[in-house]
Amino acid sequence: MSQYTELKIQDLTKNLNSILPKQESMSLQLFQEIRKYIYDSTGIYFQDNKKYLLESRLQRRISFLGLKSYEEYFKLLKSNKNTEEKKYFYEAITINETFFFRNQPQLDALASKVLPEIIQKKLEQKKNKIRIWSAACSSGEEAYSIAMVIDDLVKPKYPDIEVEIIGTDISVAVIETAKSGVYKEYSVRNIPPYYLKKYFVINGNTFEVKPEIKKLVSFSILNLYDDIMMKTMFNFDVIFCANVLIYFDNASKIKVVSNLYNSLNRGGYLFIGYSETLQGISKAFSLVSFPKTIGYKKE
């Protein structure tokens, strides 16, 4: 996510909060407790300078629930009485910025190099199924972009290959949007017109992904920081895990990336975000260069 986008999100949050009843500011001790709670359950680390952001994001939930303080909210969150709240809490603390064709060089590499290489190997092994995972997919734009490129560029060359794309995220609300496949103009702003025309039903200012693309993709809730859940994710040929590692500290990056490595088949690839690197995080992968992007290969 660009600094500009983050600033815009912070501005929006500020504007919204200015019309909600104001809470006392969060004590440093409580900030540290909530930060630890977030870190232990998600791997996301709120730096000291993100205290205001956390306050403003939780303020909406506090007002909505009619609570009086951050303390009261945190007590409710931790109590087993309201497990539902955890769902809204994750929504409040995550940043879900995404859009179609966010990383075109990765999509090009996938269609022109990575999948032909993987398919060739599968065919030699008399296998015909490719599994791709969009991990931390937010509202699904990345997973559908992958499906569109495959349908357009890979399927015609390898008609017998079966493709399964799975999108997962920790936030329930974004997964609901992903499942619906219905988007606003903002999400499609970067999509090449050819793909927009070919794969969307356009109705006024809503853009619905066509059924032939929807049927290639399924979505579910998954916390990348949950080792038990991560063990259920295996046998993937390609994993996209973009623009989420930036919210983790080094220890959680190491843990998540090591689990992603285990989820990949030999010869499989991991793609991360433009501004992310595995330097100092994992030496297990080989670095493979493609035009304007790189991939991490499990040899």
Ligand X SMILES: C[S@@+](CC[C@H](N)C(=O)[O-])C[C@H]1O[C@@H](n2cnc3c(N)ncnc32)[C@H](O)[C@@H]1O
Q: Which two tokens stand for residue 258?
A: 């090591």
For position 130 contacting ligand X by CB under 6 A, the verdict is no
The 144-183 site mask, x for binding ligand X (CB under 6 A), equals -------------------------xxx--x---------
Q: Which two tokens stand for residue 11?
A: 């501005």
Taking a C-beta distance cutoff of 8 angstroms, is the pair 116, 290 a contact?
Answer: no
For position 276 contacting ligand X by CB under 6 A, the verdict is no
Out of 33, 72, 85, 97, the residue judged to bind ligand X by CB under 6 A: 97
Which residues sit opposite 11 in a β-bridge? none
Angle ∠(30,49,93) on CA atoms, nearest 5: 65
Residue 35 sits at φ, ψ, to 5 deg, of -60, -40
For position 44 contacting ligand X by CB under 6 A, the verdict is yes
Which residues sit opposite 239 in a β-bridge? 133, 270
The 46-75 site mask, x for binding ligand X (CB under 6 A), equals ------------------------------
Residue 273 C-beta: closest distance to ligand X, Å:
6
Of the pair 53, 136, the CB lying nearest ligand X is at 136
Q: Are strands 217-221 and 162-169 parallel, antiparallel or unpaired?
A: parallel
- From the list 50-58, 71-79, 120-128, 219-227, the region that binds ligand X by CB under 6 A is 219-227
Out of 34, 38, 43, 298, the residue judged to bind ligand X by CB under 6 A: 43
For position 223 contacting ligand X by CB under 6 A, the verdict is yes
Residue 25 C-beta: closest distance to ligand X, Å:
25
- Among positions 99-128, residues that touch ligand X (CB under 6 A) are 102
For position 142 contacting ligand X by CB under 6 A, the verdict is yes
Cα–Cα nearest to 59, from 13, 107, 1: 13
Residue at shortest CB range from ligand X: 98
- Residues near 30 by beta carbon (within 8 Å), at least 6 away in sequence: 70, 71, 74
Helices (H) and strands (E) in the chain, counts: 13, 10
Taking a C-beta distance cutoff of 8 angstroms, is the pair 77, 85 a contact?
Answer: yes
Positions touching ligand X (CB under 6 A) are 1, 42-44, 94-98, 102, 136-138, 142, 169-171, 174, 223-225, 242-244, 247, 273
